[in-house]
Amino acid sequence: MELSDIMTAIAECPHFKGLDAVILAEVADRVRVVHFPAGRAILRKGDLGDAAYIIVSGRANVMATAGERAMQVNSIEPYDLVGEVAAYDGRTRTADIVAETDMTLFRIDRNDLWAVTLKHPAVAERAIISLCALSRRASEGVEDAALRDQRSRLARLLLSLSSASGLVEAITQQELAIRLGTQREAVARILRELRNRGMVSGAKGRLRLLNRSALEELANS
């Protein structure tokens, strides 16, 4: 690839977006074009973070593993930067990234990534912004996972407290929160969602189940 083409692609990456041509040329001079066929692992969980990659073309999937079970948790498309966290801190990768299609990427070694970051404040600023965005998404993911778990647990609790007619025994939101080990505000938010979805009705300590099968499905999710 021509240097100008590499610079154009790098400029589309959020980590380097908005940088001037001199900095982009330096970054472009430090990257190496690499190719991965569909199905090949780009990064492996547990490997040391020796480089980061900019996706130029193709798609990849982020895979989380538990034992022998693998699950796709995210997808990666052109101009995304991947592997930068481990490349910056030098620690191990936390997930597998596997090419879904044939892919072209720019590889920038850890030492080169640090060199341009330390040399150019604008790169450091973009790096901080990008890493903060990653941190926020991770926090939101944890919160969402926790809320999903609370939804399931609340659904199970409501089912256990209900009669055959669907009437739930008298219980306040605070009492439900104590039973679940969470905050009343979280219970209120989930109950509001369940009402909007037509699963429950009622308020002020007296609830009725409107869609038991949907609640059972939620309880088992």
- Tell me how crowded residue 19 is: count the other CB atoms within 10 A of its CB: 22
What is the value of pTM for the model shown? 0.64
Give the structural domain span for 154.
143-219
| Neighbour tally for 69: CB within 10 Å | 7
Residues 91 and 57 in one domain: yes
User: What pairs with residue 65 in β-bridges?
Assistant: 70
Same domain, 149 and 186: yes
- Whether residues 79 and 166 share a domain: the answer is no
124 is a domain residue: no
Residue where a domain terminates, one of 59, 85, 119: 119
**Are 19 and 112 found together in one domain?**
yes
Beta bridge partners of 56: none
CATH number at residue 74: 2.60.120.10
Tokens encoding 24: 């982009």
Q: Identify the pLDDT of residue 120.
A: 95
The pLDDT tens digits of the residues spanning 57-95 come to 999 998 876 556 667 778 889 999 999 999 999 999 988
pLDDT at 155 over 80: yes
For residue 48, the model assigns a pLDDT of 93
Q: How many domains does the chain have?
A: 2
